[in-house]
Structures are given as structure tokens and as C-alpha cells.
Amino acid sequence: MSHTNPTTNAPLERLFEFLRFPSVSTDPARAHDVLACAEWLVARLTAMGLEAESHPTAGHPVVLARNTHRAGRPTVLIYGHYDVQPEEPLAAWTTPPFQPVVRDSVIFARGSADNKGQIFAHIEGVAATLAGRGDLPVNLIFLVEGEEEIGSPHLEAFLNAHRESLHCDVVAISDTGMVAPGIPTLTYGLRGIACLELRVHGPAVDLHSGIYGGAVRNPATELARLLASLHTEKGQVAVSGFYDDVRELEAWEREAWAKAPFGEAQIQAVTGVEAAGGEAGYSALERIWGRPTAEVNGLGGGFQGEGTKTVIPKVAFAKLSFRLVPDQDPARVLECVRRHLVAHCPEGVRVEVELGHSGEPYSTDPHSRFGLAAQRALTRALPGREIALIREGGSIPIVNTFKKVLGVETLLLGLALPDCRAHGPDENFPIANFETGIVLNQALLEEISRA
């Protein structure tokens, strides 16, 4: 492979090498690329002066690296992943996804934002500190896995197996985003999720809508009525018990979020909707970051082809997911929803509920000892800008796994921008954000060492 953008910036050169591995974890044909990427990473971490090793799992390897740990200073685990999403649709890329290029000071490549660019900024930050001082101010563990894009199927077992050697005081992850370019951003909460599939069964076979229509309940109509029953006119979830454990937003949160340069106007621009929607009494960001939802992710039933087939379908289904906020419990929410659906199902059709996967919401205190250290580091990396204390609407299950297995909180220090196109064509990461990440890493380890 030749350099598309020759450069004299050594960290950027190394990032480009990292980005050239098509380490697509979901593709069995790329298993050797994933492995080669892990080995390259071990070599780089070793060359920097860390003790690094690739650990096999039942899937792709986990790369671990550490400095010499010394008593009396905190241990920081920095998590990231070296695997990436598939590059399809290839034709939609301006330049090939695994041939990184810089256009207008922005790096374009699969993995540039998610997560190679972000984890590699931390690695280069550590390299710079080691090069300058010969040691780090903290005990450090890098844990860089190769299966994040396929749901980290072997990570929890790995953490359990290495619980002793992975003992740490705090986890830091840069796999989220900045709320806007140049805004230092600390993410202190994530929504959880709970999924189920609802099926409404009626007649034994699809019926002729002329011969029977009017005298039997239509499962598609009843499905629609059940789905409609999930919300009030004001956009609240109308399931009894659903909000029981929802932690109300604190005044400082609503205040902080109100300053974020992202709201209805931006949502309309990005999504193409003509008007925002959602729960009355909350701003767009509050709805996404701080309030739970009930969403229909898909539905189907009866005749879906061209034209007309006048049947009463025997069954209709919907795939539902619920985004959860602290302190909702996925199992309890699913039970409330199941009870609601059964209770609202009329005679003449039958409801079947199949529970799907779930994950707990996450929140940590941004004003804790390590939270404040992270805020100081962010200010040093991006001076002169007020820190955005945010939550995010999505889920990062690994954060709960760290809490459960290692008993520690996670600092989420996002470096990607809202238009980074993670998972999509033309994924990108500005050079400035990469460089900010390097500075942030150095400041973070220092601030944690003093916390």
C-alpha cells in the first residue's frame, strides 16, 4: 500500500498505518486482517515502552498493554477497539475506505472516528509522555478489543478471567462524540435498552376480507391499536409503571443541556423531518438524553406486495425497543409493557410477547473526584470553552460491564464530531480532533494522578 497523503507528522503516519488494516470483525474472510491489526498494535505499544500482549479469545484477540505499575498512584484503564464496521456500500465512498486520505484537514477512512482515531490519540498521548518523561503519572492499562462492532461477545468473560490483573480505579473511553466542533464534552450518562417482539394472532389462516370482514377482529388493526395505546397524546409512554423508576432531571442538567449547540433546528436539519416530536415539557436534548422512549423499530403483517390482496391477515407483528434512563430496570420495564399489551388485547385476538435483548442505563457523577479531573483535562485540551456535560441517547453496554465486573466508573471523553459518519460511507475524523485527543490523554493522566 502506498501513502495517499505523505506527511511528516509521525503520529498521523502511524494512525494511517493503523487505518489501513481492514479489520472488519463481522466478516470471517477478514479474520486474518483483524489478527494482523492486533499484532501491529502490540508491536507499536511495545515499541513505545509498554508491556503489550495479544490475548486470544473465542473470537478476535484482546490487546492489553501496561506500564510498570507502582503502588501509591491510581490505575487507569483506557478502553478502545481496533475492529471496524464493514465498508459497504463501497460505491458511496469518495475515496477507498481503507486508504486513508486527508481532505481539508479531515481524515477520511473506515475506523477514523469509530474507534481507531480516538483510541490511537490516547496511544500517541501515552507515547509522547513516555518519550518526554520516561514514565506516566499513573498506572496504565490499555485494553483494546477486536469485537466491539459485533457486540463484544467475549469481553465480559475476558474481564472476569483477568479481573485481578485488570484491577483499576477508573476507566476512560473515547468512543462517544463532542456535542459540536471544539466543545470539550464529558458524557456522564447513557440510555439503556429493552427489546421485545409483539405478535397479534387472529384467525387460523388469512381470511377473505369480503367473506368475513366485519365479523372477526383484524390482527393488523388490533396491532395498530395496541401500538397506539403505548403513547398519550402528549407523547408520554402510556404504560402503567413505566416511569416509576425514572430519575428526574436535575436543575443543573437542564441548565447545562440548554447551552448545548444542538436542538430541534439541528435535529430537523440532520434527519430531514419537518418538525420535531416527543414528550411534552422537555427539550429535544432532554427527550434524547434524559427521558425513556417506546419505539416501533419495525412492523409487518398481511399482504405487502404490489397492488391489492384483500385478506384479513392471520398475524401481525411489531418489533419494539425501549430506551431507558437511570434508574429504570430493563426486566421491570419489559414486564410492565408485557402486562400492558396483554391487558389491552381485546377478545378475538391473542397477544404473544417475545422478550429480546436488554441493557441497563448508565450514569456516573461528573462532579466526582475523577469526573472533575476529566473536566480539568478537557479544559487543558480545549482551553477557553465551557465544558458540555451531556448524556447520550444510545447505549454502550461495555460501560455497565466494567462497573459490574471491575467495580469502577467510566469517563466518556468523546472526540468524534456529530457528522463523523461512524458506520457509514466517508467516515471521518479531523486532524485537529486527533491532536486534541493526544493532548487530552496527557492532561487526563496527570489530572487523575493528582485527583
Binding to a copy of itself (CB under 8 A) within 302-331 occurs at 302-304, 307-313, 316, 318-319, 321, 323
Name, in order, each residue with C-beta under 8 angstroms of 450's C-beta and a sequence gap of 6 or more: 137, 373
Q: Is 231 exposed, middle or buried (0-12, 13-18, 19+ CB in 10 A)?
A: middle
Of 28, 272, 383, 384, the one binding a copy of itself by CB under 8 A: 272
Least CB distance to a copy of itself at residue 425 (A): 12
Q: Is 137 in the site for a copy of itself (CB under 8 A)?
A: no
Q: Is 180 in the site for a copy of itself (CB under 8 A)?
A: no
Q: Is 432 in the site for a copy of itself (CB under 8 A)?
A: no
- Dist. CA 167–CA 76, nearest whole Å: 9
Residue 115 phi, psi dihedral angles, 5° rounding: -135, 5
Q: Is 352 in the site for a copy of itself (CB under 8 A)?
A: no
Residues numbered 50 to 109 that lie near a copy of itself (CB under 8 A) are: none
- Dist. CA 144–CA 141, nearest whole Å: 10
Q: Is 8 in the site for a copy of itself (CB under 8 A)?
A: no
CB atoms within 10 A of CB 137: 18
Of 56, 153, 241, 394, the one binding a copy of itself by CB under 8 A: 394
Least CB distance to a copy of itself at residue 170 (A): 24
Of 56, 261, 298, 407, the one binding a copy of itself by CB under 8 A: 298
Least CB distance to a copy of itself at residue 209 (A): 5
Which range binds a copy of itself by CB under 8 A, 21-29, 95-103, 161-169, 284-292? Answer: 284-292
- Cα–Cα nearest to 191, from 320, 408, 412, 362: 362
**Residue closer to a copy of itself (CB basis): 217 or 339:** 217
**Residue closer to a copy of itself (CB basis): 54 or 187:** 187
Least CB distance to a copy of itself at residue 205 (A): 8
Least CB distance to a copy of itself at residue 273 (A): 5
Please, what sign has the CA dihedral across residues 229, 232, 236, 239?
A: negative
In terms of DSSP bridges, do strands 388-392 and 75-81 run parallel, antiparallel, or are they unpaired?
unpaired
Of 46, 240, 297, 386, the one binding a copy of itself by CB under 8 A: 297
Name, in order, each residue with C-beta under 8 angstroms of 206's C-beta and a sequence gap of 6 or more: 302, 311, 312, 313, 314
Grid cell in block for residue 396 = 454502550
**DSSP class of 73:** S
Least CB distance to a copy of itself at residue 14 (A): 30
- Dist. CA 177–CA 85, nearest whole Å: 17
Q: What is the distance between the terminal CA atoms of the chain, rounded to a whole angstrom?
A: 45
Which range binds a copy of itself by CB under 8 A, 51-59, 139-147, 165-173, 289-297? Answer: 289-297
- Dist. CA 411–CA 370, nearest whole Å: 8
Where do we find the cell 394472532? 201
Q: Is 400 in the site for a copy of itself (CB under 8 A)?
A: no
Where do we find the cell 481492514? 22
**Residue closer to a copy of itself (CB basis): 216 or 372:** 216
Rounded-to-10 torsion of CA 27, 31, 34, 35:
170
Q: Give the number of residues in contact with a copy of itself, rule: CB under 8 A.
A: 81
**Residue closer to a copy of itself (CB basis): 170 or 415:** 415
**Residue closer to a copy of itself (CB basis): 55 or 217:** 217
Q: Is 277 in the site for a copy of itself (CB under 8 A)?
A: yes
**Residue closer to a copy of itself (CB basis): 164 or 274:** 274
Q: Collapse the DSSP code of 65 into the 3-class scheme (helix H, G, I; strand E, B; otherwise coil) and give the result.
A: strand
- Can you give 180-220 as a three-state secondary structure string? CCCCCEEEEEECEEEEEEEEEECCCCCEECCCCECCECCHH
Least CB distance to a copy of itself at residue 84 (A): 17
**Residue closer to a copy of itself (CB basis): 124 or 222:** 222
Q: Is 173 in the site for a copy of itself (CB under 8 A)?
A: no
Region class of 241: left (phi > 0), else alpha (psi between -120 and 50), else beta: left
| Sequence-ordered strand ranges (E) for 24-173 | 51-55, 62-66, 75-81, 101-103, 106-108, 139-145, 170-173
**Residue closer to a copy of itself (CB basis): 349 or 431:** 349
Grid cell in block for residue 352 = 404473544
Of 152, 364, 395, 400, the one binding a copy of itself by CB under 8 A: 395
Grid cell in block for residue 104 = 481539508
Q: Is 338 in the site for a copy of itself (CB under 8 A)?
A: no
Q: Is 26 in the site for a copy of itself (CB under 8 A)?
A: no
Q: Is 448 in the site for a copy of itself (CB under 8 A)?
A: no
Residues numbered 199 to 258 that lie near a copy of itself (CB under 8 A) are: 202-205, 207-218, 220-221, 223-231
Q: Is 356 in the site for a copy of itself (CB under 8 A)?
A: yes
Grid cell in block for residue 149 = 462492532
Least CB distance to a copy of itself at residue 357 (A): 6
